Chains A and B, each alone.
Chain A
């Protein structure tokens, strides 16, 4: 069965610095997709970035980039130039089968001035 592991319950970073949030996954399917979502204190889930298993290049979306290391089964999220508004929970997820997303337990990021 597919599984997502996020080993960092909390991370601290100073404003304007970069931070890496770790995510490892386990699957036997050759075709899969990995996602990162942000959940502010208000509760909604905000899609950040997607990486397909066959994508040759690491995904990037503005200040977000995904460090995809297929052989190590890791898909770490890198946030560059952190902002105070980046403080939130961050979830790594993988799609399982045709429709289902499997989520990790999340990492709480706190950005300090």
Chain B
């Protein structure tokens, strides 16, 4: 079955620690995205990548970092510099540059205390 996997579903960390969220897709999509969702809010774009070894900042990139060493994988690191890291994080992918074909993973709920 083709799709996007994010692990783990729930993640707990202590304040001051970096944490990496996993995102893997087997849809052979070129573009991948990371979004953040806060309670009662829509999704906000953190980073996106159109091809391997290339990525661009989204609207709220501060305190986050990404890498795209393989087409299938786009991990997101939430650094200690992110002031409010507790949120629901969604990864998505799309075919080439067509934004209307974004497919989403199940999400990771990160809680930092």
Interface residues of A (CB under 8 A from B): 4, 33, 35, 37, 42-47, 50, 52, 91, 93, 95, 98-101, 103-106
Contact = CB atoms under 8 A, between A and B. Distances in A.
A24 B42 CA distance: 15
A82 to B, nearest CB: 23
Secondary structure at chain A's binding surface: helix, strand, loop or mixed?
strand
B43 A91 contact: yes
Nearest to B92: A45
Interface of B: 31, 33, 40-45, 48, 50, 58-59, 88, 90, 92, 94, 97, 99-100, 102-107, 109
Contacts of A50: 100
Nearest to B90: A45
B2 to A, nearest CB: 15
B106 A47 contact: no
Nearest to B97: A98
A52 to B, nearest CB: 8
A45 B42 CA distance: 11
A101 B43 contact: yes
Nearest to B108: A43
Contacts of A47: 102-104
A91 B31 contact: no
Contacts of A45: 43, 90, 92, 104
A104 B42 CA distance: 5
Contacts of B90: 43-45
Given A46-B104, A93-B42, 9 more contacts: A43-B90, A45-B90, A47-B103, A95-B100, A99-B97, A100-B58, A100-B99, A103-B42, A103-B44
Contacts of A103: 42-44
Of all A-B residue pairs in the complex, the 5 with the closest CB atoms, nearest first, are: A103-B42, A95-B99, A45-B104, A43-B107, A103-B43
B100 A43 contact: no
**Max chain B C-beta neighbours (<10 A), residue from A46, A50, A93, A99:** A99
Given A45-B92, A91-B42, A101 B102 contact: yes
